[in-house]
Amino acid sequence: MRNKSVVTEAYQIQIAVELIELGARLQLLQEETALSRERLLKLYKEVKGASPSKGMLPYSTDWFMSWSPNIHSSLFMDIHQFLVKNASLSGVEALIKSYRLYLEQIGVSGDEPALSITRAWFLVRFFDAQMLQLTECTECSGHFVVHANELYTGYICGICHPPSRAGKTRKNGYSPALQASIQAL
């Protein structure tokens, strides 16, 4: 970073701090900023007060297909695509703003976020690589995450037709506010 401007470095640090506050893993920070690993480690410890998590990142499109993660990832992806299309955002800025709006929407509905910032980052990358796509539910007209290049005529989402075990871990399953949020997008 010897030849870079102070303003550029400050912007990179600001992005890294925002991602750390949202719970990003170190590998995500390394991909989305131009800061060195050592600098990111110091920054992580300063912001969180602890070392970053270690281990492999989750890398599978299948996680996004199960019932609860699909509903959350569909909500996030609808928000993300809306911001990219209508707010002229892209890259890490779109990721951060989309994730903050997702957390806000989940907080309003009273549900717990199932999607971490790292999984949201992977979700966007899977969409960019055309491994996943959104398809419309024939009953509610909401858009949901599905594997790309498969036939989805007559697709019915997990909200309109939940699996038999859906919601068994919670009293009532998903709140009506969350269901309305997804269907409104």
Return the pLDDT at 20. Answer: 96
Contact criterion met (CB below 8 Å) for 46 and 24: no
Can you tell me the mean pLDDT for 93-111? 92
Give me the DSSP letters along 82-101. Answer: HHHHHS---HHHHHHHHHHH
Least-confidence region, from 28-32, 95-99, 148-152: 148-152
Paired tokens of 54: 């270690």
Please state, for a pLDDT cut of 90, what percent of the chain lies above it. Answer: 66
Return the pLDDT at 1. Answer: 45
Decide the pairing of beta strands 143-147 and 132-136: antiparallel
Q: What is the helix (H) or strand (E) element at residue 65, kind and residue range? A: none
The yes-or-no verdict on residue 182 having pLDDT over 80 is no
Contact criterion met (CB below 8 Å) for 145 and 134: yes
Paired tokens of 77: 């992806």
